[in-house]
């Protein structure tokens, strides 16, 4: 579970950057923006989101890229933990995405959303 804790640390400690157009389009196609609209009755735009790209090793990147079961299962469990258990909201304000094409793992959040570090204890 060491990698699990390392990923959590990155969520809390890494500086978030403004999303790019491609990331915004990705989360829009995924339905994240519509989910937030239904919950908040607010139409969010590109300037309302930030993201981090997790630092993972080449073996893990290839595991995502080539859908290796041991990696995708693990990262999907991490995604579920972050989106359901870690946040105290019905609709998550922070989502984790596995980007198969690039073998990367990112977290995207509303810029205004602050995740309380004590909520995972």
Q: What is the pLDDT of residues 54-65, one digit of tens each?
A: 999 999 999 999
Q: What is the pLDDT of residues 29-52, one digit of tens each?
A: 999 999 999 999 999 999 999 999
HEC readout, 33-102? HHHHHHHHCCCCCHHHEEEEECCCCHHHHHHHHCCCHHHHHHHHHHHHHHHHHHCCCCCCCEEEEEECCC
Is this model's pTM higher than 0.75 or not?
Answer: yes
Instruction: Report residue 60 as tokens.
Output: 């893990």
């Amino acid at each position: 579970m060491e990698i699990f804790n390392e990923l959590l640390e990155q969520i809390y400690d890494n500086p978030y950057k403004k999303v790019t157009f491609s990331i915004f389009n990705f989360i829009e196609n995924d339905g994240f923006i519509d989910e937030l609209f239904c919950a908040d009755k607010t139409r969010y735009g590109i300037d309302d989101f930030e993201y981090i790209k997790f630092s993972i090793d080449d073996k893990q990147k290839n595991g995502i890229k080539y859908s290796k079961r041991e990696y995708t299962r693990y990262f999907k469990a991490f995604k579920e933990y972050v989106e359901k258990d870690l946040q105290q909201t019905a609709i998550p304000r922070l989502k984790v995405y596995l980007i198969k094409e690039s073998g990367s793992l990112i977290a995207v959040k509303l810029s205004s959303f602050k995740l309380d570090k004590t909520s995972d204890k």
